[in-house]
Structure 1
Amino acid sequence: MAPRKVIITCAVTGSVHTPSMSPHLPVTPDQIAAEAIAAAEAGASILHLHARDPRDGRPTADPDVFMQFLPRIKQATSAVINITTGGSSLMTLDQRLAAPLRAEPEMCSLNMGSMNFALFPMLDRPKWQHEWEPKLLEATRDTIFKNTFADMETVLERLGKGCGTRFEFECYDVGHLYSLAHFRDRGLVSGPLFIQFVFGILGGIGADPDNLVHMKRIADKLFGDSYQFSVLAAGRHQMPMISIAAAMGGNVRVGLEDSLYDGRQLAKSNADQVRRIRSVLDGLSLDVATPTEAREMLALKGGDRVAF
C-alpha cells in the first residue's frame, strides 16, 4: 500500500485580516504573487487566493486585479490555483463569481451555508491605517454571510458544470455537511469531494478537538470513502488543530488568511507557515503531496485547461 500523501493548502491573504494587523499581509498583486510562489516552493500544492485593492488593501472582487497575479503564479509554479467564491461576506454573489467565471480555475472554494461570520471582535486596536478597516469589521456585527441553496446551485451550475471547476467545500458547522450530502444525493456533486472543516470563526463551530472528531465522524457516515478532508482553524488554533487533523488522516491548510502568526510571532510570510506544518508532518512520518499528486487525488481538470 502506497504511503498516504498530505495536501498542504496555503490561503495567501483572504478578506478577514486588515493591513493594520500585520505589516506582512500581502495586499498588492506583486505581493500576492510573490507570497503564493514562495508558499508553493515551500511545499503548498494548492494556493487559495483572494484579491485586494492595491491602493489600500481592502478586499476586492475585481477580475482585473485577479488577472494581475493569476497568470504570474501559474507561470512560476505548478501548484493548483484555487480562487475564492466567498470573497467577503459584504459582497454579492455576482461580485464573488466575477473572477472565477473569467479565470475558469481548476478549483474554487464553495461555502456550504448562510451564517453569521463575525469579525467585529478584532476591533480592539488602538490605531488603524485606513478608515475602511474598522468599518468593515463593525459591519459584520449585523451582516449575514449569504450562501443560500439557490446561491450554491448557481455556483455548482455555472462554475462546476460550466467550467469544469471542482470545489473546496467549506463547512463551518455540522449542518453544512448535510447540505453537501443533499447536493450529492441530487447528483450535483460527485466524489472525490474535498471538504474543508472550518473551525474558530465566530458564528461557526468552535476550534475544539472534540468538534473535529465529530465533524469527521459525521462526514464518514455521510460520504464514506468518497471524500478527502482538510482542516483550517482561525488564529491561534491554526497549528494545533491542523496537526491533529494530519494525525487523523486529513489534509491541512495554512496561510495568512487564517492566522497571522508563526508560533508566538507574527508570521513574516505564508511560506513560514508552510514550512512549520511541513516540520510537523515530517515528525509524523507523513509525506507531502506534490501538485501532480493533489490533482490526481482530487480529480482536477489540469492547469492547462484554465482561462489565464
Structure 2
Amino acid sequence: MSDKVIISCAVTGSVHTPTMSPHLAITPEQIAEQAIEAAEAGAAILHLHARDPADGRPTPDPKVFDRFVPRIKAATDAVINITTGGSTRMTLAERLAYPLQAAPEMCSLNMGSMNFTIHPVARKITNWQHGWEKPYVEGMEDLIFRNTFADIKHILQVLGRERGTRFEFECYDMGHLYTLAHFRDEGLIDGPIFLQCIFGILGGLGADPENLVAMRTTADRLFGRDGYRFSVLGAGRHQMPLLTMAAVMGGNVRVGLEDSLYLGKGQLASSCAEQVRKIRRILDELSLEVATPAEARTLLALKGADAVNF
C-alpha cells in the first residue's frame, strides 16, 4: 500500500475567476457535484474552497461551506480537506472561520508569506462577466499572501493540536521546506508529513523538472525518505507533465480546476473529474496503483470521517 498513489483534487480555489472558464464550479451545488464526481473518478482527497454563489468571488463564509461540505461527505468517503489559505484578501480569522468550526480530517497550510499572482492573465481578457474580477486579478500584483511564522504556529495549534486535523503542507519554494522542518523540530508537527510541492505560480518556484528534483532531494535531507509523503501540484499547462514525473519519482499527485483550467493544449477541462480520469489513465500506464480514501487515511494517519463536525 505504501507504493500507491494518492490523487488529490482541488475543486475550485480562489485564483481563477468565472470569466476564465464556464466550467469553474461557483455555486454550492456545482462545487458539490464536481467534488463528488472527482471522488467517483478516483480522487481520495478533495481540497475545498467556497465561492459566493451570486458572482463567484471567493468567500470564507461558513454558511456557504455548510451548503456543500456535508453533502459531499454524505455522498462519498473521500477525505475532505478544507483550505486555510482562503485568498490573499482574507484575514487569518476569516480563513480559519470554517476550519475551526468543522474540525476536518485535513486542512491545507501554506508554509510561508510570498508574492502570489496571476496578474499578467488580465491582459488577455477584454470582457469580464463580473465587475469584481478584473481588479481582483490585476490587484494581485501589489499583494502579499501572508503566512507568518506566528500565523503558521497558530494554525498548527488550534487545528492540529486542539482538533486533531492533519495538514497538506503547501510549499511553493525551497525555503518553505526549511520552515516546515523548523516547526517539526519545535514539536508542533508529527509524522507522517504530507508535503505538497507547488510549481508554476508566479512568485514561487518555476515549473522546471530540475526544481522538482531539488525539492525532493531537499525533503529527503530534512525529513528522511520515510518521514514524509511527497505530492506535486503543477499550475496551468505544467499540470500533467510534472505530475507524471512526480509519480515516476514515487510521489502523489494533485489535479483540479483550482490548479489548471485545461485538460490539454487549448482544451478547457469540462470538470475536475475529467482531469482526475486523465491522470489516472497515466498512472495506469505507468503500472501504478491509486490509493482509495481508506488507504489514504492510513498512509496519512488521519483521524477519520467520524471525528469531524459536519
Q: What is the TM-score normalised by the length of structure 1?
A: 0.99
**3-state SS of 1:215 partner:** helix
Partner of 2:291 in structure 1?
289
* Partner SS, residue 129 of structure 2: coil
Matches within 5 A, 1:63-82: 63-82=62-81
Determine the C-alpha separation between the residues in 2 that align with 1:127 and 1:90.
23
Post-superposition offset of 1:122: 1.2
Is the 8 Å Cα contact of residues 12 and 256 (structure 1) preserved in structure 2? yes
Give the 5 Å matches for 1:186-205.
186-205=186-205
Partner residue in 1 for 2:212: 212
**CA drift at 1:3:** 6.7
| Number of the residue aligned with 1:247 | 248
1:156-175 maps to which residues of 2 (within 5 A)?
156-175=156-175
C-alpha separation between the residues in 2 aligned to 1:169 and 1:183?
A: 11
Report if aligned partners of 2:9, 2:43 keep a CA contact under 8 Å in 1.
yes
The CA distance in 2 between the partners of 1:185 and 1:300, in whole Å, is: 21
Supply the AA of the counterpart residue of 2:141: R
Name stretches of at least 5 consecutive residues in structure 1 with no aligned partner.
Answer: none
How far is 1:148 from its partner?
0.1
Verify the 8 A CA contact 2:78 2:293 in the aligned structure 1: yes
Give CA deviations for 1:261-308 in whole Å, capped at 9, x if unaligned. Answer: 011210000000000000000010000000000000000000000000
| Equivalenced residues, count | 307
Residue aligned with 2:281, SS: helix
Partner SS state of residue 288, structure 1: coil
How far does residue 151 in structure 1 lie from its aligned partner after superposition? 0.2
Q: Is the 8 A contact 1:171 1:195 kept in 2?
A: yes
Identity of aligned residues (%): 69
Instruction: Give the secondary-structure state (helix, strand or coil) at the position aligned to 2:247.
Output: helix
Taking only aligned residues, the RMSD between alpha carbons, in angstroms, comes to 0.7
Deviation at 1:19, TM superposition (A): 0.3
Counterparts of 1:220-235 in structure 2 under 5 Å?
220-224=220-224, 225-235=226-236
Could you say what secondary structure the match of 1:201 adopts?
A: coil
> Are the aligned partners of 1:53 and 1:65 in contact in 2 as well (CA < 8 Å)?
yes
2:108 partner letter:
S
Match of 1:185 in 2: 185
Give secondary structure in 2 for the equivalent of 1:99.
helix
Report the Cα distance in structure 1 between the residues aligned to 2:166 and 2:61, rounded to whole angstroms.
22
* Distance (Å, rounded) in 1 between the aligned partners of 2:183 and 2:116: 23
The 3-state SS of whatever aligns with 2:54 is: coil
SS of residue matched to 1:202: coil
- What is the deviation of 1:221? 0.3
Q: Distance in 1 between matches of 2:3 and 2:157?
A: 32
Inter-partner Cα distance in structure 1 for 2:133 and 2:257: 17
Distance 2:99 2:121 in 1: 29
In the alignment, structure 2 segments of 5+ residues that lack a partner are: none
Could you tell me which residue of structure 2 aligns to residue 155 of structure 1? 155
Task: Name the SS of the counterpart of 2:26 in structure 1.
Answer: coil
Q: Tell whether the 8 Å contact from 1:3 to 1:287 is kept in structure 2 after alignment.
A: no
Quickly say closer, same or farther: Cα 1:285–1:144, change in 2 above 3 A.
same
Any runs of at least 4 consecutive aligned residues in structure 1 with deviations exceeding 6 A, and if so which?
none
Aligned AA for 2:229?
Answer: Q
State the match for 1:100 in structure 2. Answer: 99
Q: What secondary structure does 1:24 align onto? A: coil
Residue of structure 2 equivalent to 1:269: 271
Quote the offset at 1:138 in angstroms.
1.4
Question: Which one-letter code corresponds to 1:269 in the other structure?
Answer: S
What amino acid does structure 2 have at the position aligned with 1:283? Answer: E
- Superposition deviation, residue 162 in structure 1: 1.2
Letter in 2 for 1:289: A
Measured after TM superposition, the shift of residue 126 of structure 1 is: 1.4
- Cα deviation for residue 119 of structure 1 reads 1.8
Q: TM-score, normalised by structure 2?
A: 0.98
DSSP-derived class of the 2:14 partner: coil
Which residue of the partner structure matches residue 259 of structure 2? 258
Listed one character per residue, the Cα deviations across residues 159-187 of structure 1 (whole Å, up to 9, x for unaligned) are 11111000000000000000000000010
> SS of 2:84's equivalent?
coil
**In the alignment, what sits opposite 1:278?**
280
Q: Which residue of 1 aligns with 2:9?
A: 10
How far does residue 190 in structure 1 lie from its aligned partner after superposition?
1.2
